[in-house]
Structure 1
Amino acid sequence: MIEVYSWPTPNGHKVHIMLEECGLPYRVIPVDIGSGAQFGSAFLAISPNNKIPAIVDPDGPDGRPISLFESGAILLYLAGKTGRFMPEDTRGKYEALQWLMFQMGGVGPMLGQAHHFRIYAPEKIAYAIDRYTNEAKRLYGVMDKRLASSTYIAGKQYGIADMAIFPWLRSWKNQGVEMGEYPHLKGWFDEIAARPAVQRGVEVLANARQPQITDKAREMLFGATQYKRH
């Protein structure tokens, strides 16, 4: 059984969704990032970047346990393990990879910054809010244009690129975006949201997350603790 070290964030939900879609047995081990659990030595041995999610698969590719961190790498590993949600042909594989990298290098970091400066930053900095809100809107536009001519993000088949992007768009209001302005993206979003495995995936640990960020959580996530050498 795969062990999943996670928390109910977009990056955590990517992996929860993939596991549910694949039907793989897994056990969730909560890593409360608001309390500083990500800095524990046991977790750092698996995820040296102190970020969730991470997994341990006792049945690795060579029959030995393997641990992995970085959500994109985990999605690729699970796709390889199951032979699902990744095109088999070379062209399709690289098309899927480019959109997965688009999420990892663009959608996640930029929408994360939009969340930070719009919601979490103790000081409201107009330049930063405008910068990342505008970048969020630009990325939504890129995806909307793509989906005007493609059934799914990476082509005709639903796959890991869709799973990687979807959780980040669930908070579109917090990003200063109006989803209705992107009709092709909205249609795709509604279709993905209706998938039973996706619904199960986003419910994993959903009750554990606090609706309000505490001072301690702010310190753990954004303060000096984050920059210590652990």
Structure 2
Amino acid sequence: MMQLFGYDTINTLKVLMLLMETDAEFEFVPINIRAGEQHKREFLDINPAGKVPVLRDGSQHQTESNAILMSLAHKMNWGLPEDPKEYGCMISWLFYQASTQGPHFGQIEYWNKLAKQPNTRALTHLRTIANRTIQHLDDQLKGRQFICGKNYSIADISLFPWLHIHDHLGLTIKGVNNLELWLERIGRRPASMKALAFLGSNSMFDKKIE
């Protein structure tokens, strides 16, 4: 059985969404990153980068959330567009999410919620970039159900979690109707709701790795 090492994080949510979509059997192994468990030798032997999530499948360990999405999608034959143009679109969005959306939205969360000392200038700058990202996504979703066309793919899964918590980040999607509809469309999928509910069970995150 596959094992998912993760915590209540955006990148763990991505992988859970795909696992729920495919009804895959897996064991969840919580790594309490707020208690520093990702720096313990037991976990560093699994991922020397000290990051979650990690997917163990047999003797193989896959790291980096979007790479895990790709590996799982191929394994489960799910969420990969058959049309070459849509497939290329999906790859581009996975890289965009990892290089642009993820880092900037993550920094907003840090300065907005986690930093001991505020940095208003940095937060304003990052929110400006995030708002451009929101507008860009809204523009690309015009006339589309999903980010690469009519088919739901792992590109949509990769982009959804940060946007799902836009209120938490102090961002707004008011008036960007294409993006609002897209978020609602993904959020009401049974697999999305199951993944969000799974991470909402906070008691599991008290467990320590042995």
Shorter-chain TM band: over 0.9
Counterpart Cα distance in 1 of 2:19 and 2:156: 14
Deviates more, 1:47-56 or 1:82-91: 82-91
Counterpart Cα distance in 2 of 1:88 and 1:67: 27
* Residue 198 of structure 1 pairs with residue 189 of structure 2: no
Counterpart Cα distance in 2 of 1:186 and 1:158: 16
Secondary structure, counterpart of 2:34 in structure 1:
coil
**Aligned twin of 2:87:** 93
After TM superposition, give the deviation of residue 95 of structure 1 in Å: 1.0
**Aligned twin of 1:127:** 121
**Aligned twin of 1:118:** 112
Secondary structure, counterpart of 2:148 in structure 1:
coil
Counterpart Cα distance in 2 of 1:137 and 1:174: 14
* Residue 181 of structure 1 pairs with residue 185 of structure 2: no
Counterpart Cα distance in 1 of 2:7 and 2:92: 26
**Aligned twin of 2:145:** 151
* Residue 6 of structure 1 pairs with residue 6 of structure 2: yes
**Aligned twin of 2:206:** none
Unaligned runs of 5+ in 1: 59-64, 210-230
Calculate the TM-score normalised by the size of structure 1: 0.85
After TM superposition, give the deviation of residue 208 of structure 1 in Å: 2.2
Calculate the TM-score normalised by the size of structure 2: 0.92
Percent identity between the two aligned chains: 30
Counterpart Cα distance in 2 of 1:6 and 1:174: 21
Kept in 1, the 8 Å contact 2:13–2:199? The answer is no
Unaligned runs of 5+ in 2: 204-210
Secondary structure, counterpart of 2:8 in structure 1:
coil
Counterpart Cα distance in 2 of 1:82 and 1:124: 44
**Aligned twin of 2:44:** 44
Secondary structure, counterpart of 2:183 in structure 1:
helix
After TM superposition, give the deviation of residue 129 of structure 1 in Å: 1.0
Tell me which amino acid in the other structure corresponds to 2:84. Answer: T
**Aligned twin of 1:33:** 33
Tell me which amino acid in the other structure corresponds to 1:155. Answer: G
Q: For 1:55-114, what per-residue CA distance to the aligned partner results, in whole angstroms no more than 9, with x for missing partners?
A: 1012xxxxxx21111000000000110111011343221111001111111111110011
Counterpart Cα distance in 2 of 1:169 and 1:49: 26
